[in-house]
Structure 1
Amino acid sequence: MPTGVTIRDVREQLFDAADRILLRHGPSALTSRAVTAEAGVAKGVLHRHFADFDAFLAEFVLDRVNRMDAQAAALLDAAGAGSVADNLTDALIALFGSVAVAIVALVTFRDELRARLRETWPAGVPVLTEAVIMIAAYLAAERDLGRLAPDAVVDALAPTLIGTAHLLFADRGARPDREAVHRAVTAVVAGALAP
């Protein structure tokens, strides 16, 4: 990279490069050199914007968690429309079809990253805990609309759905089709649907 050339949105450029590496090769391939090479910038660029590589990774993970806000809002807006199982299926496919599964692997792969995340994220894996919150809010809205039974325990259903979807998507070699995800969602929520 020539000196004196302004790089616009360098943080986002580096985060997008990390996304691509994670999706293609998994967490073991994510190094500062790989990220800067993928982003097309000099290695020093990363270290000018972040204290070290684990600081970069912590901010990357939190940035990707913050991007889930739009997805959570869209799911909440879907409450009362379509079927509960279809809405959940679409949300889980969007969530786990993104870099989310790779981020979970990254967080479990790097001890120092987990330690850094604990400074601002007190419990759980950020992507998964945020996903549970998103699903629980949606299920609570559906319960309030009468589409789930009044005694539906959304705080148990939400992590069950996230765990089930994570297991379906965890194998990077074979992604589940929509029907497989829908069957799993239907099995989890069947007893909670309003009669």
Structure 2
Amino acid sequence: MPTGVAFQDPRTQLFDAAERLLLQAGPNALTSRAVTAEAGCAKGVLHRHFADFDDFLEALVLDRIGRIAAQSAALHTAAGTGTVTGNLADALGALFDPVAVAVVGLVTFRDELRARLRRTTPRGVPLLAEATAMLAGYLAAEQRLGRIAAEADLRPLAPTLIGAGHLLFADRESARPEPAALRQVVATVIGGALPPGRKLG
């Protein structure tokens, strides 16, 4: 194994290696030795940048959570354009990419990691909780624009969309759902919240 590989960005190299392992073999495959071997570096590289392996895994999850901020900004910008159903379906498709689905599995698999993440995500499943907040913010924006009925109760919609979306994408052995199937799920969830005349979202 090479021990003198120089990295311009060791954290990113290690995160990429961990993500590849997650996709290939799931959470069971993640050990510090496996990650550094996949990254092509000495085990000490990981420990120079992180206090321990759980610290590394926490940083990996927080990196994925950080990406939701950019997704949230893009989704909020989309409010008032296209259709509500289409915007939500696109957001869910982007959110539940294979790596994100694997990271959710990692969080549920490791108790110590989940406990650490309670510092930043005190309620709900880390990553899914932040994604739920993203959708809730978008739905509120669309309600202010009149594309969601003023009397609609938004509270259950975002968690239901995240739960349904996760179920659609969670099977790592199957192909990703077709866009039409995802749109149908979204349309079913939000149908009762759309004003008359906007039943197609």
- Given the two structures, how large is their TM-score scaled by the length of structure 2? 0.92
State the Cα distance separating 1:155 from its structure 2 match.
Answer: 2.0
Cα distance in 2, alignment partners of residues 147 and 123 from structure 1: 29
Corresponding residue for 1:189?
Answer: 190
The answer to whether 1:91 aligns with 2:117 is: no
Corresponding residue for 1:104?
Answer: 104
* Aligned length in residues: 194
1:4-153 alignment to 2 at 5 Å? Answer: 6-153=6-153
Cα distance in 2, alignment partners of residues 154 and 9 from structure 1: 42
* Counterpart contact for 2:121–2:129, Cα < 8 Å: no
Gap regions ≥5 residues in structure 1:
none
Cα distance in 2, alignment partners of residues 180 and 24 from structure 1: 26
Cα distance in 2, alignment partners of residues 79 and 98 from structure 1: 26
The amino acid across from 2:151 in the alignment is D
The amino acid across from 2:167 in the alignment is L
After the TM superposition, which parts of structure 1 deviate over 4 Å for at least 4 consecutive aligned residues?
Answer: none
Cα distance in 2, alignment partners of residues 22 and 177 from structure 1: 23
The amino acid across from 1:184 in the alignment is V
The amino acid across from 1:57 in the alignment is L
Cα distance in 1, alignment partners of residues 148 and 156 from structure 2: 14
The amino acid across from 1:153 in the alignment is D
Q: Greater CA deviation, 33-42 or 140-149?
A: 33-42
State the Cα distance separating 1:98 from its structure 2 match.
Answer: 4.1
State the Cα distance separating 1:116 from its structure 2 match.
Answer: 1.4
1:113-153 per-residue CA deviation (whole Å, 9 max, x = no partner) reads 11211233212222100000000011001100000100222
The amino acid across from 2:73 in the alignment is A
Corresponding residue for 2:177?
Answer: 176
Q: Secondary structure at the match of 2:127?
A: helix
Gap regions ≥5 residues in structure 2:
197-201
The amino acid across from 2:9 in the alignment is D
* Counterpart contact for 2:21–2:35, Cα < 8 Å: yes
State the Cα distance separating 1:42 from its structure 2 match.
Answer: 1.0
* Counterpart contact for 2:3–2:41, Cα < 8 Å: no
1:142-182 per-residue CA deviation (whole Å, 9 max, x = no partner) reads 10000010022222100000000011111111121111111
Q: Secondary structure at the match of 1:99?
A: helix
Cα distance in 2, alignment partners of residues 98 and 137 from structure 1: 24
